[in-house]
C-alpha cells in the first residue's frame, strides 16, 4: 500500500514537472514557427542608481530558458579591460527575467532579462556578455564614467523621434559611439514607430537596431506619444531607467550636470489616470529643490531637463506646442495647475530639451513668451534671465520631416529640417557647449552655441 502511494506520488511529480517544463519552454508556435528561441538579443545599457559604479544590462529572449525555473540564473559575465588589452570575463552578476506580453492581438510573449552590475570601478572600461548556458550574446564593452566629481567634461548625443524605418542618424551615431565620442545617449521619446506595431515585432527590430549603440553606452530614455499603446507597456517593459518609476521619470548626475528626464505624456493621456501627473509633478519639485541645495548646486551647477513634447515650437502643424497655452507649460486649462514652466523658472533650470517635432529648433532664453537674453551685448546666452529651450526630434523616422511656419517668431533663434542630432559637452561648471549635427550634410555642424554662467540658481531674483 505504502509502496503504491509512493509510486503514485512519483508519477504525479514527474507529470507535474513535465507540465511545468513545457510551459516554461513557451515557444513560438503561436507565431506558427514552433521553435524555442533562447538566444539573447536587443542588449542595451542604462546607468544604475549609482551612475559611476552601476550599470544595468537589459536584453530579451523569445522563450524562457529552462534553467531559469530553478532561480535567478540570468547572468552577465564581465571583467575590466586591462591596459594590456586583455580581459577576462572573471566576474558574474545575476538578475531576473520577467515575462512581457504585448497587448496586441497575438499577445506576443518575450522575456526581458535585467542584471545590475555593481561596485564597478569608475572611469574604467569593462568587457561583458550576457545570457547563460542556454546561449550568450556577443561580447560588448562599455566605459564607466568618473566619480561624481564636477572635474570632468561629459559628452552626450541627444535626439528624439527615431524609428525602425528611416533611422537616418543611426549609422553616424554608431560610428561616433565606437570612436568613443560619448559618455551616454539620451533618446527624448518616440521609438520605433511604434514598439507595439505588428505585435511588437517592430519594437524588437528597433531594439536590435539600437544595440549597435546601446550595448556600448547608457541609452537613457523618456516616453513619447508613440509609446502610449496599452498604457506604455512596451516602453515600461523594455527599458531599465533608474528611479523605480518604470522609466517614466528619474534624474542622474554626470560631471557638473544634474539631468532630469520626465514624461510629458502624463499631461496628454489622462485616460490612464491623473495620478501619474500629480506624482511626477510632486517628485519634480522635490528633485529640483534638492538639486538646488547650496552644496549640490555648487558641485553640479547645471540642471538639464528633458521630456518629449515641447512647450514652444515654430512648426506648421496642429501639435500642442504650436498653440500658446501648451499643457506642459501652463498646466491644466483655466486652473493652470501643474504647469512646468514656473518650476523651471523658480528652480533655475538651465536647459530644457524636447523633441516630438521632426526638426531642430533653438530658442533665445525665454519665460512666458518673454525673451530674457543675457545683459552683455551680443551674448544672449551669457547669464541669461530664463531657461534655454531646444527641440531636437529629427533623428529620422517614417513620418518624415516637420515643416516650419512661414513667419518664424522672434523668440526662435535657429531652425532646421535636416535629419540629425544634438551634441552636448559640459566643459565645466561655467561652460556648456551644444552642436547640431546634420546627417543630411554628412555630419556638418549646422548650429552651435555656448551657454555660459558665472552663477546658477533661481531666475526669480
Ligand X SMILES: *[C@@H]1O[C@H](CO)[C@@H](O)[C@H](O)[C@H]1NC(C)=O
**2 makes contact with ligand X (CB under 6 A):** no
- CA-based torsion, 365, 333, 305, 299: positive or negative: positive
Angle at 415 (CA atoms; ends 413, 416), nearest 5 degrees = 160
Contact pick of 14, 15, 98, 273 for ligand X (by CB under 6 A): 273
**319 makes contact with Fe ion (CB under 5 A):** no
**Exposure of 355 by Cβ count < 10 A (0-12 exposed, 13-18 middle, 19+ buried)?**
buried
- Comparing CB distances to ligand X, the nearer of 18 and 273 is 273
Contact pick of 79, 114, 428, 446 for ligand X (by CB under 6 A): 428
Site for ligand X in 357-416 (CB under 6 A): 364, 371, 373, 378, 380
Q: Least distance from C-beta 93 to Fe ion, angstroms?
A: 35
Nearest to 220 by CA among 259, 194, 176: 259
Interaxial angle between packed helices 201-214 and 229-238, expressed in degrees from 0 to 180 and rounded to the nearest 10: 30
**36 makes contact with ligand X (CB under 6 A):** yes
Q: Which helix (H) or strand (E) holds 348?
A: none
**100 makes contact with ligand X (CB under 6 A):** no
Beta-bridged to residue 191, according to DSSP, are 162
225 binds, among Fe ion, ligand X, none (CB under 5 to 8 A by kind): Fe ion
CA atoms within 13 A on the CB side of 93: 20
The binding track of 330-359 with respect to ligand X, each residue x by CB under 6 A or -, is ------------------------------
* Cβ neighbours of 153 (radius 10 Å): 17
Site for Fe ion in 152-191 (CB under 5 A): 190
Backbone angles phi, psi at 460, to 5 degrees: -70, -30
- Comparing CB distances to ligand X, the nearer of 205 and 382 is 382
Q: Least distance from C-beta 249 to Fe ion, angstroms?
A: 17
Backbone angles phi, psi at 448, to 5 degrees: -155, 150
Kindly list the distances between the CA atom of residue 197 and the CA atoms of 101, 104, 137, 231, 359, in Å, as whole numbers in the listed order: 13, 8, 25, 14, 24
- Comparing CB distances to Fe ion, the nearer of 73 and 225 is 225
CB neighbour list of residue 260: distance below 8 Å, 6 or more residues apart: 249, 250, 251, 284, 287, 288, 291, 303, 304, 305, 306, 349
Q: Least distance from C-beta 150 to ligand X, angstroms?
A: 10
Where does this chain touch ligand X (CB under 6 A) — which range of 44-52, 297-305, 423-431, 437-445?
A: 423-431
What whole-number distance in Å separates Cα of residue 24 and Cα of residue 60? Answer: 15
Specify the length of the chain in residues: 461
**69 makes contact with ligand X (CB under 6 A):** no
The binding track of 220-259 with respect to ligand X, each residue x by CB under 6 A or -, is -----------x----------------------------
What whole-number distance in Å separates Cα of residue 409 and Cα of residue 314? Answer: 7
Alpha helices, H only, 216-292: 229-238, 275-291
319 binds, among Fe ion, ligand X, none (CB under 5 to 8 A by kind): none
306 binds, among ligand X, Fe ion, none (CB under 5 to 8 A by kind): none
**25 makes contact with ligand X (CB under 6 A):** yes
Where do the DSSP E strands lie in 70-108?
A: 74-80, 91-101
The binding track of 195-234 with respect to Fe ion, each residue x by CB under 5 A or -, is -----------------------------xx---------
What does the binding site for ligand X look like in residue numbers (CB under 6 A)? 25, 27, 29, 34, 36, 123, 146, 151-152, 231, 272-273, 275-276, 364, 371, 373, 378, 380, 427-428, 430-431
What does the binding site for Fe ion look like in residue numbers (CB under 5 A)? 190, 224-225, 356
Amino acid at each position: 500500500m505504502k509502496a503504491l502511494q509512493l509510486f503514485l506520488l512519483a508519477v504525479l511529480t514527474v507529470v507535474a514537472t513535465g507540465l511545468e517544463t513545457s510551459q516554461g519552454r513557451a515557444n513560438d508556435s503561436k507565431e506558427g514557427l514552433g521553435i524555442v528561441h533562447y538566444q539573447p538579443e536587443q542588449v542595451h545599457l542604462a546607468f544604475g542608481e549609482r551612475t559611476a559604479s552601476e550599470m544595468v544590462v537589459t536584453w530579451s529572449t523569445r522563450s524562457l530558458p529552462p534553467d531559469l525555473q530553478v532561480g535567478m540564473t540570468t547572468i552577465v559575465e564581465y571583467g575590466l579591460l586591462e591596459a594590456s588589452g586583455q580581459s577576462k570575463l572573471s566576474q558574474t552578476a545575476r538578475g531576473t527575467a520577467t515575462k512581457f506580453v504585448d497587448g496586441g492581438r497575438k499577445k506576443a510573449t518575450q522575456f526581458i532579462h535585467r542584471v545590475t552590475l555593481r561596485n564597478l570601478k569608475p572611469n574604467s572600461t569593462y568587457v561583458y556578455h550576457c545570457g547563460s548556458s542556454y546561449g550568450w550574446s556577443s561580447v560588448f564593452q562599455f566605459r564607466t564614467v568618473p566619480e561624481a566629481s564636477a572635474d570632468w567634461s561629459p559628452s552626450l548625443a541627444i535626439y528624439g523621434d527615431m524609428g525602425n524605418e528611416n533611422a537616418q542618424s543611426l549609422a553616424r551615431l554608431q560610428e561616433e559611439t565606437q570612436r568613443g565620442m560619448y559618455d551616454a545617449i539620451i533618446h527624448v521619446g518616440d521609438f520605433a514607430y511604434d514598439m507595439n506595431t505588428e505585435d511588437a515585432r517592430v519594437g524588437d527590430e528597433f531594439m536590435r537596431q539600437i544595440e549597435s549603440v546601446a550595448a556600448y553606452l547608457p541609452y537613457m530614455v523618456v516616453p513619447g506619444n508613440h509609446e502610449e499603446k496599452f498604457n506604455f507597456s512596451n516602453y515600461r517593459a523594455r527599458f531599465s531607467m533608474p528611479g523605480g518609476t518604470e522609466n517614466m521619470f528619474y534624474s542622474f548626475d554626470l560631471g557638473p550636470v544634474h539631468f532630469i528626464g520626465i514624461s510629458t505624456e502624463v499631461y496628454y493621456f489622462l485616460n490612464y489616470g491623473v495620478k501619474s501627473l500629480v506624482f511626477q509633478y510632486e517628485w519634480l519639485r522635490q528633485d529640483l529643490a534638492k538639486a538646488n541645495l547650496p552644496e549640490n548646486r555648487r558641485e553640479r551647477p547645471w540642471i538639464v531637463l528633458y521630456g518629449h513634447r515641447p512647450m514652444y515650437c515654430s512648426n506648421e502643424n496642429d501639435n500642442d506646442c504650436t498653440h500658446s497655452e501648451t499643457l506642459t507649460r501652463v498646466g491644466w486649462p483655466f486652473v493652470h495647475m501643474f504647469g512646468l514652466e514656473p518650476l523651471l523658472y523658480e528652480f533655475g533650470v538651465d536647459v530644457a530639451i524636447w523633441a516630438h517635432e521632426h526638426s531642430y529648433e533653438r530658442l533665445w532664453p525665454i519665460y512666458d513668451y518673454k525673451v530674457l537674453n543675457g545683459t552683455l551685448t551680443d551674448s544672449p546666452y551669457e547669464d541669461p534671465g530664463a531657461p534655454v529651450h531646444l527641440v531636437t526630434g529629427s533623428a529620422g523616422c517614417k513620418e518624415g520631416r516637420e515643416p516650419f511656419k512661414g513667419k518664424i517668431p522672434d523668440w526662435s533663434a535657429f531652425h532646421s529640417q535636416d535629419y540629425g542630432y544634438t551634441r552636448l559637452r559640459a566643459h565645466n561648471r561655467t561652460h556648456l557647449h551644444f552642436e547640431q549635427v546634420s546627417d543630411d550634410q554628412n555630419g556638418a555642424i549646422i548650429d552651435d552655441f555656448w551657454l555660459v554662467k558665472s552663477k546658477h540658481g533661481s531666475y526669480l531674483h
